[in-house]
Amino acid sequence: QSLSLLQRRGPPVAKNDGKDAEQAWLKAKQRKGALVERVRDAKDLRGLNNGANLTDFKKPSDFLLAENNVLTFAEVKSVQSGTSFAFSNIKQKQKTTALSLAAKGMGFLYVFYIFSYGRGQWFTMDGSKFAQINSEGRASAKFEELTCIQI
């Protein structure tokens, strides 16, 4: 799906499996010359092994991103909401990795890239911001608290 179609405002998509946002993000980053390495997940492994149901280990993020002389864990998410990003969209290993980095003063090395279909906009939340909001006992972040970006 093209970036312009993904970013348009309009009715929610019928099924948001996250793949359209991932593809738009990946293409945009590659166009800008970033080095992006996808960490293979269970779906990828099944496809490579003729559909065999294989056990997979938990990943800290879907991508490693080398950009502006920094290597980061990059996790791409998309939500229907136009108001907030619910932390229930984050897998346990992703939470643990982001919080561990933040606790060591390196939260900037984990970045959630979040596309809001409700707003037609991209946002980022690094591990430090996630840790701060999480420590307040909150289950989501308002988009106004996050950094709106053009990808």
Q: How confident is the model at residue 68 (pLDDT cuts 50, 70, 90)?
A: very high
CA of residue 64 relative to chain centroid, distance: 11
More confident residue, 89 or 9: 89
Give CA angle at 23 (91, 122), nearest 5°.
70
CA distance 146 to 72: 18
C-beta separation of 131 from 99 below 8 A: yes
What pLDDT shows up at residue 23?
94
Q: What is the pTM of this model?
A: 0.84
CA distance 91 to 84: 17
More confident residue, 145 or 9: 145
Is residue 116 helix, strand or coil?
strand
**Which of 42, 39, 119 is closest to 79 using CA atoms?**
119
Bridging pattern class, strands 70-79 and 110-116: parallel
